[in-house]
Amino acid sequence: MKLENPPTLASELTSLPVTSWRRFARDLHDGRIEQICILSDVERMKCEAEELKQLVAEGVDALSAKSKKERFDEQSWDSLKSSPFYEVLREYRDVLPDDIPAELPQDKGVQHEIDLVPGTKYCVTRQWPLPREQVKAIDDFFESRRKAGQRAYVLCQEGTGRVAHRSCL
């Protein structure tokens, strides 16, 4: 059915033919439905549009300041009294700050990186220290590969049933 003017009255709307959701979904999927008309309450739409205009007129700063104040009020000790966790929170109140920051701290531009200098030993974290002979064998292996011009080495110990020893350069 094609409508030039969709119904605006409840009596016109209820006189339209009824279809099931399953048939509607199938027809929509098959491409038999070319147009969908969404009916809404005009008065409610006007009211919501006016509220939105008023919020925009107040400005983003006023809105964010208002929401920050409300957020701080919700996070006070008095507002937590009804919470089942109130007693636990009060017990550990020395850990919790009195003033909750409104935003994340400013980025100080510090990046944590590890730059290895040529000739630096590889780092391996393991539960037990390796015997000196094994450490020397690993050092010799990597040194020979470095001299050969290789990059990105991986040494794997196979078949121990534990975490394999891996080192990457």
Three-class SS state of 168: strand
Give the C-alpha separation, 42 to 9, whole Å. Answer: 12
Residue 14 sits at the vertex; the CA angle it makes with 10 and 16, to the nearest 5 degrees, is 125
Give the C-alpha separation, 101 to 70, whole Å. Answer: 14
Among residues 58, 55, 69, 61, the alpha carbon closest in space to that of 102 is found at 69
Q: What is the DSSP string of 36-55?
A: ------HHHHHHHHHHHHHH
pLDDT tens column, 64-100? 666 767 766 777 778 788 888 888 888 887 777 767 6
Please say whether the beta carbons of 116 and 123 come within 8 A.
no
CB atoms under 10 Å from CB of 57, counted, come to 8
Please give the residue that has the higher pLDDT: either 130 or 65: 130
The DSSP code for 163 is P
Give the C-alpha separation, 133 to 137, whole Å. Answer: 6
Q: What's the predicted TM-score (pTM) here?
A: 0.23
pLDDT-based confidence at residue 150 (cuts at 50, 70, 90): low
In the chain, where are the structural domains located? 1-39, 42-91, 119-169
pLDDT-based confidence at residue 151 (cuts at 50, 70, 90): low
